[in-house]
Amino acid sequence: MSTQFDVVVIGAGPGGYIAAIRAAQLGLSVACIDAWQNGKGGPAPGGTCTNVGCIPSKALLQSSEHYDQVNHHFAEHGIEVKGVSLNLEQLLGRKNNVVKQNNDGILYLFKKNKITFFHGKGAFTGKVDGGWAINVSGTATADIVGKHVVIATGSSARELPGLPFDEQQVLSNDGALNIAAVPKKLGVIGAGVIGLEMGSVWRRLGAEVTVLEAMPEFLAAVDQQVAKEAFKIFTKQGLAIQTGIKLGEIKAGAKSITVPYTDAAGTEQKLVVDKLIVSIGRVPYTGGLQAEAVGLQLDERGFVVVDGDCKTNLPNIWAVGDVVRGPMLAHKAEEEGVAVAERIGGQHGHVNFNTIPWVIYTSPEISWVGQTEQQLKASGRAYKAGSFPFLANGRARALGDTTGFVKILADAATDEVLGVHIIGPMASELIAEAVTIMEFKGAAEDIARICHAHPTLSESMKEAALAVDKRTLNF
């Protein structure tokens, strides 16, 4: 007889493992199945985020930023360091350790919350009495039944047609995190989040990086004032970014890759690089799930079709995270995981898609929540804007990092905050205040009236809120 669970979660990325923990907290019996293997074939829960995404990329961004600081910025603090050298093996090894700590942390959380973990692939086999039958194959083999099933199988990197990833020369995010020697010339296709973050890592470590982007606008989804500032700064740092290009047929040779393209002016160009990162977006992953065995509906792009509550077309089957519509972000996946577990547990889980923050972990960082100025203009909503440069912030001066600004967009009549856009130091941390205010439907004046500690970067948020009412104190 198959073991029955109240909830079976397929996938232990941020969507899946968080759904499993929340369901267990609500007193439900929970199993979580995940196929990811570490280098030794053992379990490595945490999904893309932990293994080849958020966590390792941020570890490399931190290490490479230290290297950049010691080489280029310590001297202005009066710290003279001679004989700096890069131990890339150690740098990559540290990143692998950070990943392992996170894998182990999730295994511990499964134990702590009495979640049955299966290391293997989960596939639907049909509908039975009491729920949905699922076969587990891999390190663990089992036939189990879930009264409810949460699909959290994530996404994988999109390939360019005719150019499969070999992770040696043509790299997905996975290979981009594991280059064994700093390439002399690195090409990046796609100036999106991965292209800019990974391009920054390898540029700081010494590679000559060229980023080719098809869209005419740089960071088209980002507030264009921020995008323009970012373009200026990244270009000055040495990232060669070309927008509005059209790729020709890429040829991977034994030692180099040739990327022919037409530039924005219509001129034929040729880029020859040692390695090429292809970061042109990600596609939902449902391979091995046997969706067809139960009639699970996918859309034409392969996403599992869900309603606003993450319900699929099948009763008691839910789906969350990258495998469904919406931004492909770890915290969005987590929010959906919690909400679904709460709905299964009889509560009223809720995700507010209007207040999901975005962060690009370049230097300076970029973060935003809510609507951009171009979106507000397009929708015809009357708004007021206020911004404050980090140049006028005492803490930023003390840090030696005065690039960028905070910009707040508020409704012209009610002063409700509609969007906050930051480029500058610790933008990833500063955005949390904006999310909180927007979640409470607060006004710019609310931020302006809150006491912010001095000297902090967060005072720039207060000053930008004051600027909405044209009364900054320090600028």
Answer whether 321's CB lies under 8 Å from 337's CB: yes
Q: Build a one-symbol-per-residue string for 191-230: x at contacts with ligand NAI by CB under 6 A, - elsewhere.
A: xxxxx-x--------------xxxx---------------
3-class SS at 102?
A: helix
Partner in contact with 152, chosen from ligand FAD, ligand NAI, none, beta carbon below 5 to 8 Å by kind: ligand FAD
Answer whether 41's CB lies under 8 Å from 139's CB: yes
* Helical axes 54-72 vs 193-204, angle rounded to 10°: 40
Look at residues 7, 17, 6 and name the one whose alpha carbon lies nearest to residue 333: 17
Task: Output DSSP code: residue 43.
Answer: B
Give me the amino acid identity at 179: I
Least Å from the CB of residue 383 to ligand NAI: 26
Give the whole-angstrom CA distance, residue 361 versus residue 365: 5
Least Å from the CB of residue 448 to ligand FAD: 29
Task: Give the residue with the Cβ less far from ligand NAI, 23 or 241.
Answer: 241
Least Å from the CB of residue 393 to ligand FAD: 25
Partner in contact with 147, chosen from ligand FAD, ligand NAI, none, beta carbon below 5 to 8 Å by kind: none
Stretch that binds ligand FAD, among 31-39, 99-107, 125-133, 443-451 (CB under 6 A): 31-39
Query: Please, which of residues 387-426 interact with ligand NAI by CB under 6 A?
Result: none
Q: CA of 299: how far to CAs of 92, 132, 304, in Å? A: 38, 22, 6
Least Å from the CB of residue 220 to ligand NAI: 7
Partner in contact with 14, chosen from ligand NAI, ligand FAD, none, beta carbon below 5 to 8 Å by kind: ligand FAD
Classify the C-alpha dihedral 48-50-52-55 as positive or negative. positive
Give the whole-angstrom CA distance, residue 363 versus residue 61: 9
Task: Give the residue with the Cβ less far from ligand NAI, 61 or 376.
Answer: 61
One of 360, 406, 418, 427 touching ligand NAI (CB under 6 A): 360
Tell me phi and psi for residue 333, to 5 degrees.
-60, -45
Within 10 angstroms of residue 353's Cβ, the number of other Cβ atoms is: 12
- Residue the block writes with tokens 């280029």: 72
Residue 190 lies near ligand NAI (rule: CB under 6 A): yes
One of 21, 359, 427, 437 touching ligand NAI (CB under 6 A): 359
> Please, what is the Cα angle at 317 between 315 and 318, to 5 degrees?
125
Q: Is 350 a catalytic residue?
A: no
Task: Give the residue with the Cβ less far from ligand FAD, 395 or 421.
Answer: 421
Within 10 angstroms of residue 411's Cβ, the number of other Cβ atoms is: 16
Task: Give the residue with the Cβ less far from ligand NAI, 372 or 393.
Answer: 372
- Residue the block writes with tokens 């230290």: 66
Would you tell me which residues interact with ligand FAD (CB under 6 A)?
10-16, 33-36, 47-49, 53-54, 57, 121-122, 152-155, 173, 194, 285, 288-289, 321-323, 328-331, 333
Q: Mind telling me the catalytic residues?
A: 454
Would you tell me which residues interact with ligand NAI (CB under 6 A)?
189-195, 197, 212-215, 247, 279-282, 327-329, 359-361
